[in-house]
Amino acid sequence: MRDVLEAFFKLRKPTSYLEIGLGDGRNFESVPLEDKVCISPNGSVQSGRLLRGTSDGIFAASWPYNVDRFFEMVFIDGFHSANQVTRDLSNVLLRTQKDSVILIHDVNPFYPPYHEIEERTLPEKLNNGHAWMGNVWKIIFEIHNWMEQLDYVLIKDKPGWLVAWYNDQLLLRDEYINKPSSNSEMLNLIEDGTIVYYPLQEAIQQYIQKGGPVK
């Protein structure tokens, strides 16, 4: 299992797991749970269950479970555009509940300078051999500004992770009620220390201190 995922897996000890985006399947196969589900348009799995299709299609049209089917841990790592990850998170919020942990991959815009990229371009041209991480990083600001029901911590490790969980109460972040209107405005929040990426061990401390679910 990927190291960041493994660290939060150990803290939360989930009994159910949902991954969006299978990739080569190595991560999904290494998750030591029977109750694990992956949503992806391609690939195949040896363990758990693959819901084959795009995340939009599965959530909107062919969700095979009851409405009370919730997951204790979710890893969002499908199509890497800000709009898609926003929709994925919105759907995941309907499939998670208090004590669930949600991880989102590819949120560090400084590796390489992805924050300058708005839309998908040819990966090889864009990334100098690095995997495409799109503009997923914008989800930080969606969560920070609009999803008061979530707390989160950011992990610096390339290419960046966001770990989110539900608050006990709604906290209104009055000082940020205005949605930043540009990339540079958003990045100012990083530069002024409002948004901080932590190394993994510090992120774990933050998670525990801020009341992230631990079993």
Q: Which is nearer to ligand SAM, 87 or 156 (CB)?
A: 87
Q: Pick out residues in 69-98 that bind ligand SAM (CB under 6 A).
A: 77-79
Rounded Cα distance, 154 and 140, in Å: 9
Binding ligand SAM (rule: CB under 6 A), the pick from 55, 96, 100, 206 is 55
**136 near ligand SAM (CB under 6 A):** no
In 21-111, which residue ranges form alpha helices assigned H by DSSP? Answer: 26-30, 55-61, 82-93
Q: How far is CA 133 from the centre of its chain?
A: 12
**54 near ligand SAM (CB under 6 A):** yes
Q: Kindly state the number of chain residues that form the binding site for ligand SAM, as judged by CB under 6 A.
A: 17
Q: Which is nearer to ligand SAM, 40 or 108 (CB)?
A: 40
As measured in angstroms, the least distance from the Cβ of 135 to ligand SAM is 14
As measured in angstroms, the least distance from the Cβ of 210 to ligand SAM is 25
Asked whether the beta carbons of 39 and 14 are under 8 A apart, the reply is no
Using CB positions, name the residue nearest to ligand SAM.
23
| Strands 73-76 and 17-20, bridge-based pairing | parallel
Binding ligand SAM (rule: CB under 6 A), the pick from 18, 19, 135, 206 is 19
**40 near ligand SAM (CB under 6 A):** yes
Token couple for 21? 């985006």
Asked whether the beta carbons of 165 and 102 are under 8 A apart, the reply is yes
Written as one letter, the residue type at 203 is A
Look up residue 57 and give its DSSP letter. Answer: H
Binding ligand SAM (rule: CB under 6 A), the pick from 4, 7, 18, 20 is 20
As measured in angstroms, the least distance from the Cβ of 123 to ligand SAM is 11
Strand partners of residue 154: 162, 197
In the chain, which residue ranges form alpha helices assigned H by DSSP? Answer: 3-12, 26-30, 55-61, 82-93, 123-127, 139-146, 183-191, 200-209
Q: Which residues bind ligand SAM (CB under 6 A)?
A: 2, 19-23, 26-27, 39-42, 54-55, 77-79
